[in-house]
Amino acid sequence: MYILEREYLAALATLLLGRGYELIGPKLAGGVITYAPLAGIEEMARKIRDAQGPGHYRSSPGEEDVWFSYVPGAASLKPWFNPPKCLVCRMRGSADEFLNETPPVTAPKRAFIGVRACEVAALRMQDKIFLEGPYADPEYRARREGALILAVNCSHPAETCFCASMQTGPKATTGFDLALTEISAKGKPAFLIEKGSDAGGELLGELPVRMATAKDKEAAILVSERAAQQITREINPERAARGLAAGLEHPHWATLESRCMNCANCTLVCPTCFCSTMEDSTSLSGDTAERWRLWDSCFVSEFTYIHGGSIRKSGASRYRQWLGHKFSHWHKQFGASGCVGCGRCIAWCPAGIDITRELAVFEASAPATARETVR
């Protein structure tokens, strides 16, 4: 582990930009922090506080001398890896030929800075979905390969965060190239840096770092411990999964139907939701046809449209799909919960629905396990 004085983070940014990386990091725009291209560290959101709650987000200047006194806001890293709209193929045909004119998938080299533990976990989940299944997605692969992940361990979790109970944060343990913890070292603001990959190690070689002392390491541990203690929301993923599996006809779905607007915001802001639809289009003359992939959602009727109509006709059934997939059958499909506890679906639900509270209802009605019964 190494120490980099805070002012030299700019050197890391300059190094990456100089090597032709597009630098993506948290940026404040219109009062909201979101990932955006940065021309340098001075453009990155610093010393900002965010107040988040169900259906609520506000930011304000922070009072402490802490750069990362916020968690990432509106959008996750998802659009940078799984873009909202992308071309799948382009074909051109005439009476005597048929040409595949699909351009090769390319993506700029990108370095992501200020990535939080939940986000790293979400990225690992997306890897599972887009790269590790029987078919790798070329779009995702092009964007993922060579992407640098420079994580920051959270010190100021938002009121909506519950990564601790999902065991994805607030400290990143794997899946990054470098991970930074903001501490005070020898009386100066600094970052304790952990190396997560050879690429990360090589970057460190170019920076004015020194070895971390035992005291520095303790300071970093304390930051993460304090952050974990500040997290107030929680769920019990195992009980929730059990309660949902047993609660397909639970009366609470009707309550949720009465509050949910079917707007799909929750799924679109979720860093692990990956559903898409295909749209076929043509040139006016009909010579060229294109297929586009667009983000879709289980809250959209056409998403389940088959002959005879949409399968999920009621709001209750759509809500059940969202919660049931994410917190229950995702375990079977991908070997983990589909939630990383980032809290985005809570803050960015315009109706202010808080999934941790809704899940508590299903946790409470979960049938006892064999072990619990014996006791």
Partner 1 sequence: MKSGHKPKLAVWKFASCDGCQLSLLDCEEELLAVAGHIELAYFPEATRAEIRGPYDISLVEGSITTPHDQHRIQKIRRQSRLLIAIGACATSGGIQALRSFARVEDYVRVVYAHPEYISTLERSTAIAKHVQVDFELRGCPIDKYQLLEVLNAYLNGRKPNIPTYCVCVECKRRGTPCVMVSRGEACLGPVTQAGCGALCPAYARGCFGCFGPMENPHTEALSERLKALGVSEGDMIRLFRSFNAGAEAFRKESKAHVRIEK
Contacts with partner 1, residue ranges (CB under 8 A) = 30-32, 34, 55-58, 73-75, 79, 84-85, 258-265, 268-269, 279-286, 294-295, 297, 299-302, 315, 347-348, 350-352
From the list partner 1, ligand SF4, none, partner contacted by residue 236 (C-beta under 5 to 8 A by kind) = none
Number of Cα atoms under 13 Å in the Cβ half of residue 241: 17
Q: Binding residue for ligand SF4 (CB under 6 A) from 343, 354, 362, 366?
A: 343
- Grouping H, G, I as helix, E, B as strand and the rest as coil, residue 203 is helix
Nearer to ligand SF4, 82 or 107 (CB): 82
> Which partner in ligand SF4, partner 1, none is near 56 (CB below 5 to 8 A by kind)?
partner 1
At closest approach, how far in Å is the CB of 361 from ligand SF4? 15
For residue 271, the partner it binds in partner 1, ligand SF4, none, with Cβ less than 5 to 8 A by kind, is ligand SF4
The Cα angle at residue 167 between residues 162 and 169, in degrees rounded to 5: 65
Q: And the tokens for 299?
A: 């809250």
User: According to the binding rule CB under 6 A, does residue 341 interact with ligand SF4?
Assistant: yes
324 binds ligand SF4 (CB under 6 A): no
Q: Which does 340 bind (CB under 5 to 8 A by kind): partner 1, ligand SF4, none?
A: ligand SF4
Q: Considering only residues 31, 37, 350, 367, which one is a binding residue for ligand SF4 as defined by CB under 6 A?
A: 350
Q: Which residues contact 265 (CB under 8 A, 6 or more apart)?
A: 345, 348, 349, 350
Instruction: Report 245-304 residues binding ligand SF4 (CB under 6 A).
Output: 260-266, 269-272, 299
The HSE-up count of residue 165 (CA atoms within 13 Å, CB side) is: 20
Helix (H, G, I), strand (E, B) or coil at 356: helix
Residues in the chain: 375
Q: What is the DSSP string of 108-169?
A: --EEEEEE-HHHHHHHHHHHHHHTSSSS--HHHHHHHTT-EEEEE--SS--TT--HHHHTS-
Which of ligand SF4, partner 1, none binds 341 (CB below 5-8 Å, type-dependent)?
ligand SF4
Which residues of the chain form contacts with ligand SF4 (CB under 6 A)?
Answer: 260-266, 269-272, 299, 326, 339-345, 349-351, 353
